Amino acid sequence: MPAFAFPGQGSQVPGMGRDLFDLFPDHVREADEVLGWSVPELCLGTDVERLGQTRFAQPAIFVVNVLGYLRFQRRCPSRPSYLLGHSLGEYCALHLAGAFDFRTGLALVARRGELMAQAASGAMAAVIGLDPARAASVTAGWPGGGIWVANYNAPDQIVVSGRADQVPAAEQYFLGEGATAYLPLRVSGAFHSPLMRPAEQEFARVLAGTPVSPPRIPVISNLTARPYTAAELRPTLSAQISGSVRWTDSIRLLLDRGETRVVELGSRPMLTPMIQKIAAGRPG
């Protein structure tokens, strides 16, 4: 059976979910009840700026990703070998693995999005052309401070996150250290960095009162690049907000375990090119 992967924030596009909402009216109705606003109206409307805002984008992506998986299962029923997701996408994986129901997962994602949106002072940039070890070393050596590795996305791509004044200032430094491109991202916060610790601490309190169950299907954690255990679920999910996304190591774990089929389910292909790069660098 294949593994299934779910993208996170940044995968939203106007019109996403158009072919899904009518197939799952009960899920759409429940989502609107939890959120207090309409996911189809947001996704199919013309307010592109609102769709891109963290507090709206995260729950909308969660809903569309989950419905995409449910449609896939209608057409081709199969039990995944593993589930995983990139940042926000991990919540889709955990819900579908049985760690929490749809309503609970959506409520968690909505609160997570609100907390991350409140920590709005920061910036992020994709750094291309440095291997992960070299990229981490270069990031740590930035003399201005206030920049951290947020995502290890592929063998030649990381994302850095940090203070709004430092991330743009570091462009020439990274290029001078061998990066081939330095691409600012359209985000409002320093996600997956220590600057998100206040959001992490508040979200830990939310998780403490949330019922969770052991995943029935193995889910690979962004934070550890290992399958979740029941005891680790709450602390790992809260720490994920400020911790690095170890996507490269997560895919390498699957490859090391003989998993060669990974199906991405999202509104557009975000993870597949990265997975292909990671796989291309592995023997066999």
Residues designated as active site: 87, 192
Is the CB of residue 270 less than 8 Å from the CB of residue 264?
Answer: yes
b/e per residue 68-100 (b: at least 16 CB within 10 A): bbbeeeeeeeeebbbbbbbbbbbbbbbbbbebb
Distance in angstroms (rounded) separating the CA atoms of residues 61 and 139: 30
Distance in angstroms (rounded) separating the CA atoms of residues 64 and 21: 8
94 token code pair = 């955990």
Neighbours of 176 (CB within 10 A): 9
Is the CB of residue 137 less than 8 Å from the CB of residue 172?
Answer: no
Residue type, 89: G
Distance in angstroms (rounded) separating the CA atoms of residues 217 and 214: 9
245 token code pair = 């996304």
Length of the chain measured in residues: 284
Distance in angstroms (rounded) separating the CA atoms of residues 56 and 37: 10
Is the CB of residue 156 less than 8 Å from the CB of residue 128?
Answer: yes
Is the CB of residue 43 less than 8 Å from the CB of residue 14?
Answer: yes
Distance in angstroms (rounded) separating the CA atoms of residues 47 and 34: 21
